[in-house]
């Protein structure tokens, strides 16, 4: 991995604990390792990739919840979409939304080459609009793009989520800046976390894994 989003990294957990946790977490498949190398070769930054801890957490949540239909907001180069598709049964589906043309092209190539690519549908365009075109219910939503609008997507996806379904929101600690939010993204994410914690339509656990993962369950 090359760099972090161009801003200082505030470690949430001890770096040695992070490394130890990664070393003792199931490694990515060969296909995902190839995707990481291919993404790294084509892009300046690939730190937007969800990474092993979050990827493997998603896989386990999919398997234990029996999720079959998944919505992802924020595809990037396809890391989490392929990880999630690997955890799905043969008739499972990941619908993933991405607006950046370059990322769409790289992700689609990865999906075309993937053994689980037939389970993945990439919807191109701004998720703020494309989300309204989606039909049917989802079992799990992975919220990982357009950080300023997590609350907007939460309201959009809640009616599309089955009772007992999960919304997994990544980067909810935003490098720890939610404690004392100063910039727009930190404020938006802190407001989102507060809103969710007070919303009686859901229950949730905010896990301090990597950059923070909020596991939210629709009641
Ligand atoms: C953190 S990255 C996603 C990483 C990906 N889930 C993974 O694990 O590799 C966020 C992505 O959301 C996309 N994005 C941001 N705002 C968006 C929007 N309004 N509509 C669609 N995609 C958006 C960005 O272009 C970026 O690729």
Could you state, in order of their start, the residue ranges of all structural domains in the chain?
15-218
Judged against a pLDDT cut of 90, whether residue 3 lies above it is answered with no
pLDDT tens digits along 30-85: 999 999 999 999 999 898 999 999 999 999 999 999 999 999 999 999 999 999 99
Judged against a pLDDT cut of 80, whether residue 104 lies above it is answered with yes
- CA atoms of 29 and 62, how far apart (whole Å): 17
* Mean pLDDT score, 170-175: 95
What is the pTM assigned to this prediction? 0.95
Ligand 1 geometric centre to CA of 104 (Å): 10
- CA atoms of 82 and 84, how far apart (whole Å): 5
Q: Which residues pair with 20 in a beta bridge?
A: none
> Cα-Cα-Cα-Cα dihedral of 207, 107, 75, 141, to 10°?
-80
pLDDT tens digits along 28-40: 999 999 999 999 9
Q: Which atom of ligand 1 is nearest to the CA of 149?
A: 19
A 10 A CB-CB count for 8 gives: 8
100 CB within 6 A, ligand 1: yes
Q: Which of 4-18, 32-46, 137-151 has the lowest mean pLDDT?
A: 4-18
CB 154 within 8 A of CB 201: no
Residues in the chain: 219
- CA atoms of 121 and 134, how far apart (whole Å): 12
Q: Which atom of ligand 1 is nearest to the CA of 80?
A: 8
Q: What is the mean pLDDT of the chain?
A: 94
CATH number of 15-218: 3.40.50.150
**What does the block give as tokens for 25?**
């977490």
Ligand 1 geometric centre to CA of 219 (Å): 27
Q: What percent of the chain has pLDDT over 70?
A: 95
145 CB within 6 A, ligand 1: yes
Q: What percent of the chain has pLDDT over 90?
A: 92
Q: Which atom of ligand 1 is nearest to the CA of 77?
A: 9
**What does the block give as tokens for 115?**
């053994």
Radius of gyration of the chain (CA): 16
Give the containing element (helix H, strand E) for 186: helix 184-197
A 10 A CB-CB count for 115 gives: 11
* Mean pLDDT score, 127-141: 97
Judged against a pLDDT cut of 50, whether residue 2 lies above it is answered with no
In 3D space, the residue among 85, 90, 72 whose CA is nearest the CA of residue 32 turns out to be 85
């Amino acid at each position: 991995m090359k760099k972090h989003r161009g801003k200082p990294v505030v470690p949430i957990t001890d770096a040695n604990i992070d490394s130890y946790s990664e070393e003792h977490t199931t490694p990515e498949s060969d296909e995902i390792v190839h995707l990481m190398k291919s993404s790294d070769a084509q892009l300046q930054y690939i730190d937007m990739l969800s990474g092993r801890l979050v990827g493997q957490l998603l896989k386990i949540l999919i398997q234990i919840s029996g999720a079959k239909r998944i919505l992802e907001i924020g595809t990037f180069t396809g890391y989490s979409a392929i990880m999630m598709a690997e955890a799905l049964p043969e008739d499972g589906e990941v619908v993933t939304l991405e607006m950046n043309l370059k990322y769409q092209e790289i992700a689609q190539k990865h999906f075309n080459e993937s053994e689980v690519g037939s389970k993945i549908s990439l919807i191109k365009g701004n998720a703020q609009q494309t989300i309204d075109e989606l039909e049917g219910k989802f079992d799990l939503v992975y919220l990982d793009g357009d950080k300023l609008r997590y609350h907007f997507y939460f309201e959009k996806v809640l009616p599309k989520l089955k009772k007992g379904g999960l919304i997994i929101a990544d980067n909810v600690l935003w490098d720890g800046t939610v404690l004392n939010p100063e910039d727009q993204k930190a404020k938006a994410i802190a407001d989102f976390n507060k809103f969710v914690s007070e919303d009686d339509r859901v229950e949730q656990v905010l896990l301090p894994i990597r950059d923070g993962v909020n596991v939210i369950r629709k009641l």
